[in-house]
Structure 1
Amino acid sequence: MLDSASHDRGGWALFLDVDGTLLELAETPQGVHVSPALKQLLEDVRWRLDGALALVSGRSLANLDQLFSPLRFIASGVHGCERRTAEGQVLRPEVDAATIARVRNQLAEFVRGHEGLLLEDKHYALAVHFRRAPEMQDEVYRIMSEVQAQLGSVFALQAGKSVLELRPGAWTKGSSIESFMQEAPFAGRKPIFIGDDVTDEDAFAVVNAMDGLSIRVGHPSVPTRARHRLGGVSEVLRWLKSTPPVVPPPPAQ
């Protein structure tokens, strides 16, 4: 357990995934809604931690700002490819725009030819969602693997829940947490990261190496590097409301 309210304020840095962690998953990325109650909860937790809270998401920073408006969080987006510091500086990779445009057009043509697929354009990354067409999973993996092979090792494939994403390979959610932990207001604290997906596993490893708290959201049968588990979004929100938070039981082995 986090042993006191003062420890809660002075000792912890909290990093939160969004979809599947703070918000229930929807059929499309646009199908989610952030309630006023959730915004107020995050504002309260940010205050309790003296500002040491960041969103760590696969969504873009622009999309996060739109969802949580008028709040604006320290955050990393597109699986670590974009990162906004406490001072508001936004760090992004340099990407060959012409190459991305060519791939975007190729994937857009593929998606148009298959009902139920959705292409999500994150500028630096491209994701194909197949939640509404699960029978297309193998075909999505085939075309995305072909595109990744064209681009080479600079880009990587990132699997998620009913989605496959092509993104710059040098950045991850884990690398973004490592960077945040070297800066105010996170430096000198212990990290907590809560996530729900395979895209969060590298961040769990980073947090474990820092002797922090790694918390996986979801069914206990799913293998994970996280050392603790919460059952779902409602449990995450209940955990965040507690003062101080209580560490959940470790995941089943």
Structure 2
Amino acid sequence: MAKELPLVDEEEQECVQSLVAEFGCTSHVDLFSRVTENKADWATAVTLMGEEYVIPPHTAFLLSDFKRIQPLVNYGRKFDLIVMDPPWENKSVKRSRRYSSLPSSQLKRLPIPLLASTNCLVVTWVTNRPSHLRFVRDELFPHWGIEVVAEWFWVKVTTSGQFVFPLDSQHKKPYEVLVLGRYRSSADDSISSSKTSEVPVEDSRLIVSVPSALHSQKPSLSEVLKRYVGAEAMCLELFARSLHPGWTSWGNEVLKFQHMSYFTLTPADDPADIS
């Protein structure tokens, strides 16, 4: 993980809080031991930890590491879609020191069975290192009771449509892999009605886009995955570094790309001017 977060009181307490209090004022928030919700229908600019952030509408988040993930479990939601982008170990990250990596074995500590609904679609971004891909398919997903159903590829291109790196490059590839699986709880059986009614996920699908200028920021998968989980699905992102409307997000840098410096604010329309 990228940074150590402060310890919090171990005593049992409310696990959720509202970001905006009555009359539109920002309430006092405990970011490290409670899930914070913005229930408003609009994005909110707030000051947190002495910095300004933009919080999307209908968003919930928990700023914590593995030691303090329990409030997310206590939140009581079962998610239909879980997307994660783990900080995989690799030489480039170690050299650049952009963020701290995480040993693969530590990922097994994530309480996926406590967060996933039956047949939850779990999507994991994986680097092009073969050992990481094998670990996800052969160890991590089976450990959680997840059945691998597909592998997709995110192909990165320039604004002119060319690969960002040569396809046969020995060092960097112009694509990344996503492993998709369905969570099968121990109570499931192969002929359950919920399993037979789920939308099949196609294998080897390609997502093609121009990558963000921000390091390691992945494209949003909300629209791409909607058909497989439904428009009303409860969605969770793990190891998040930004927030998405309608999603719950967790990570120790969950607000990183919500900082005001990444946004250009424009005046809201005056309702009186709207005919």
Give the structure-1-normalised TM-score: 0.33
Between Structure 1 and Structure 2, the one with more strand by share is 2
Between Structure 1 and Structure 2, the one with more helix by share is 1
Give the structure-2-normalised TM-score: 0.32
